[in-house]
Amino acid sequence: MNDVTELLLRHRSVRSFKPDAVSDDMLETIVRCAQMASTSSNVQAYTVIAVTNPETKRALSVVAGNQRHVEQCPVLLVWCADLSRDRLACANEGVTMVSGTMENFIVATVDVALAAQNAAVAAESLGLGIVYIGGLRNDLREVTRLLNVPELVYPIFGMCLGYPEGPSGVRPRLPLRAVLHREAYDAGVYAAAVAEYDKTMREYYLERTKGKRDTTWSKEMADKFGRPARAYVRDYLEEQGFRFD
C-alpha cells in the first residue's frame, strides 16, 4: 500500500458540499491531470465544460432529476466526448474525416471516461470531493442547448466538484473474485459471489438508512435493467454526428 492506493480505496461519492470556491489554479491542475490520462492514438477526444453560473447549474440539476448537489456544488464539470478538434486536424491536412463509425464512437467515449477518472483522483488528492452525474443523459438535447454543444460532441456525464460537507461512507464493491479472473473468463464464480454481495449490500443499506431501505444489489440491477432507459439517446447521438455505420 502507498498514498495513491490508499486514496483510491477511500473513494466515495460526495453529495453535500461547502460553499467554498474551487480556485482557478486548482481547477486547471485537475484538468491538466485529466489530460495526462491514456488516450487512443493521442486522439484526446474529450472536452470538459466547467459550470459555475447558478442559473445554469439550476437548469442542469432539473435535467438530472432535481439532484440538489448539482445546483449546490461550487463547480459542475460536464464531460463531453469530442471529435470536433480531430475533424479540424483532418481538414488542416486536406482530409475529410470519417467520423461515423462505431469504432470512433467507442474511442471518444473511452477517452473521456479515462480523462474524467484521472480528474476525480486528482481532485480527491487535493482534498476535494466528487460525484458523477449520469442524470444529465435524461435530456441531452437540453444539455446541448444550455451549453452550446456543437456537432461531433456529446455530453456523457457531469461531475460535481467541491469541498465535502461532512463525512460520507464508502460503498462496498463486488468481491474481488467476481471481477478478477485469471487466464480465462470464469462465470462459475458468479452465483456465490453475487449472493455474498447481496448480503453485504443489504446490511450496508439497512445501516446507512437506519432500516428504511431494505434491498440488495440484485434487486437494484433488476430494477435498472428490467426496462428500457433513455431510448432516445441513439437518435440524439446521430443528430450530433455519431452515426453507427
Residue 77 domain-assigned (yes or no) = yes
pLDDT score of 166: 83
Distances (CA, A) of 143 to 119, 134, 135, 148, 190: 21, 12, 11, 8, 38
Same structural domain for residues 183 and 158? no
Average pLDDT over residues 181-192: 98
Residue 219 domain-assigned (yes or no) = no
Q: Which of 36-45, 50-59, 96-105, 196-205 has the lowest mean pLDDT?
A: 96-105
Cα(108)–Cα(80) distance, integer angstroms: 9
Max CA pair span of the chain: 64
Q: At residue 232, does pLDDT exceed 80?
A: yes
Same structural domain for residues 96 and 148? yes
Q: Are 16 and 165 in contact (CB under 8 A)?
A: yes
Same structural domain for residues 26 and 132? yes
Same structural domain for residues 22 and 96? yes
Closest CA to 59 of 240, 50, 67: 67
pLDDT score of 81: 98
Which residues, 6 or more positions from 109, have their beta carbon under 8 angstroms from its beta carbon?
81, 156
Beta bridge partners of 161: 75, 130
Cα(136)–Cα(116) distance, integer angstroms: 15
Q: Which domain holds residue 193?
A: 176-214
The residue type of 132 is Y
Residue 245 domain-assigned (yes or no) = no
Residue 244 domain-assigned (yes or no) = no
Cα(161)–Cα(14) distance, integer angstroms: 9
Query: CATH no. for residue 101?
Result: 3.40.109.10
Q: Are 157 and 79 in contact (CB under 8 A)?
A: yes
Q: How confident is the model at residue 90 (pLDDT cuts 50, 70, 90)?
A: very high
Residue 220 domain-assigned (yes or no) = no
Same structural domain for residues 163 and 182? no
Same structural domain for residues 235 and 190? no
Average pLDDT over residues 14-41: 97
pLDDT score of 133: 98
Same structural domain for residues 209 and 146? no
Average pLDDT over residues 75-92: 97
Cα(232)–Cα(125) distance, integer angstroms: 37
Same structural domain for residues 16 and 87? yes
Q: How many domains does the chain have?
A: 2
> In the 8-state DSSP scheme, what is residue 48?
E
pLDDT, tens digit (0-9, with 9 covering 90-100), for 41-79: 999 999 999 999 999 999 999 999 999 999 999 999 999
Same structural domain for residues 18 and 119? yes
Same structural domain for residues 156 and 193? no
- Residue 45, judged by CB atoms within 10 A of its CB (0-12, 13-18, 19+), counts as buried
Same structural domain for residues 210 and 231? no
Q: Compute the half-sphere exposure of residue 10: CA atoms within 13 Å on the CB side of its CA.
A: 15
Give percent of the chain with pLDDT exceeding 90. Answer: 95
Q: In the predicted model, what is the mean pLDDT of the chain? A: 96
pLDDT score of 139: 98
Q: At residue 245, does pLDDT exceed 80?
A: no
Residue 74 domain-assigned (yes or no) = yes
Residue 150 domain-assigned (yes or no) = yes
Burial code (b: 16+ CB inside 10 Å, e: under 16) for 122-161 equals bbbeeebbbbbbebbbebbeebbebbebeebbbbbbbbbb
Residue 59 domain-assigned (yes or no) = yes
Average pLDDT over residues 173-188: 98
pLDDT score of 112: 98
Residue with cell 459542475: 76
Same structural domain for residues 130 and 199? no
